[in-house]
Amino acid sequence: MLECLTAEEAGSLPLYAVSPAGLEALLGALSPLQSGFLHASGFKAKAEELRLLPGGEGIAGAVLGLGSETNSPFAFGVCPFGLPEGTVWRLDDMVEAKAATLGWCLGAYRFRRFKLEKGRAAARLVAPPGTESMAAQAAAIWRGRDLVNRPANDLGPAELAAAVGELAAQYGASFEVIEGAALAEGFPAVQAVGQGAINARAPRVAVLRWGFERADAPLVALCGKGVCFDTGGLDLKPSGAMLRMKKDMGGAAAMIATAEMLMAAGLPIRLLLLVGAVENAVSGAAFRPLDVIRTRKGLTVEIGNTDAEGRLVLADLLCFAAEQQPAIVIDGATLTGAARVALGPDLPALFCNDDTTADTFLRSAAATRDEMWRLPLQNNYISWLDSSVADINNVATKPMAGAITAALFLHRFVPEGTKWVHLDLYAWNDQSRPGRPEGGEVQAARALSHAVSALFEGESHAE
């Protein structure tokens, strides 16, 4: 159980959550002292508005405003550090317990791995019955946030692969790491991206397999871009653009979190998780602009820009995943700045080669409040990736539609008839908000796990 939750109800205080429409009824149900205090303090039940309620011996409870979005978990994210340290809280019967538990846990997260002073502890919530799935999802997000927040000197390719191994051990999954000669032979594009750091921080592919004893179960393949630090390679990023490049493995973190959610839910599937763990470094061994590299599929790629390395990593992973005859392939990557220009930091771009599948994922995004937005695979743009010396270039000839052309590049490595979902995400909170503290973020994982459940277990069982 996460440290912000407890099973002990003794000494707990009530937390009431209310929308503006329900405020009058709540005021009537509280004691005159408490309702008078709320009225005098100007409480309007706005989202994230939090008030302590007075009682004969001090604090008798608290009231949280939900605003108009009563089913959002994020309002509850203000509670763990907005309520007094050391206090324990129980939800009023009228509160939506699953949303509250998820939001509470997301808001209680802090990254303190390197701090001598750990700071104040979060207030704790008595875990309501039936919310175990929300706590499990929050635990997966905590794990993913920790990975994104770890600096590159603490999380390189070896450590990222080891994190997949730790997850595999926790859930009884098989695990292997492909590196060295086997990597160069089977994943040549991954090898090319990571060869600049090969002597100090060699590239590798981490492979987790779960549920394979169910031979007839549908196979769900997850592929994560795990660039532990991205200098841009010889097409060096400016220093300002390099500052957050420890988060360039955020797609891998999202896929690791999604895998954990699926395994924790015990879905009747087979699960394959692939993480391409590399560092895009500058050295005499680094790949160069206008190099031509081979991919697992056999296609050759001209390197128009060494800073477009994530799609090269994913190309080999997608090819390997498709060879396993999956029911669906899902990849996640902090792939393009163009997606952020189009949609901003909070809205991952969704690309999909099947309209019905895309609709399922968008419905799941809305249901979980883990939003995304579909962008098109505009096929007439594929010619922008033409190369005169290789089968394809890794960047487009035109400075437009960068997220789309990156997705089109990846689409070349997905066989016809294979259902494929690609997420281009940001993996970072630029400032703290309730439930979303500043730093690494795991985007889309809750939506993806919900969608996979809807596809392979049924809508009625999806959390």
Annotated active-site positions, please? Answer: 237, 311
CA separation for the pair 210, 225 (Å, rounded):
20
Phi first, then psi: what are they for 429, rounded to 5°? Answer: -105, 120
CA separation for the pair 211, 215 (Å, rounded):
8
Q: Is 404 exposed, middle or buried (0-12, 13-18, 19+ CB in 10 A)?
A: buried
In the beta sheet, which residues pair with residue 178? 205
List Cβ neighbours of 162 (8 Å cut-off, separation of 6 or more): none
DSSP for residue 52: E
Phi first, then psi: what are they for 329, rounded to 5°? Answer: -115, 130
- Please say whether the dihedral angle defined by the alpha carbons of residues 197, 307, 431 and 89, taken in this order, is positive or negative: negative
DSSP letters for 238-273: PHHHHTTGGGGGHHHHHHHHHHHHHHHHT-SSEEEE
What's the one-letter identity of residue 366? Answer: A
CA separation for the pair 33, 37 (Å, rounded):
6
Which of 209, 135, 222, 218 has its CA nearest to residue 458? Answer: 218
- Please say whether the dihedral angle defined by the alpha carbons of residues 197, 200, 205 and 206, taken in this order, is positive or negative: negative
Three-class DSSP labels, 315-380: HHHHHHHHHCCCCEEEEEECCCHHHHHHHCCCCCEEEECCHHHHHHHHHHHHHHCCCCEECCCCHH
Would you put residue 300 in left (φ > 0), alpha (ψ -120 to 50) or beta? beta
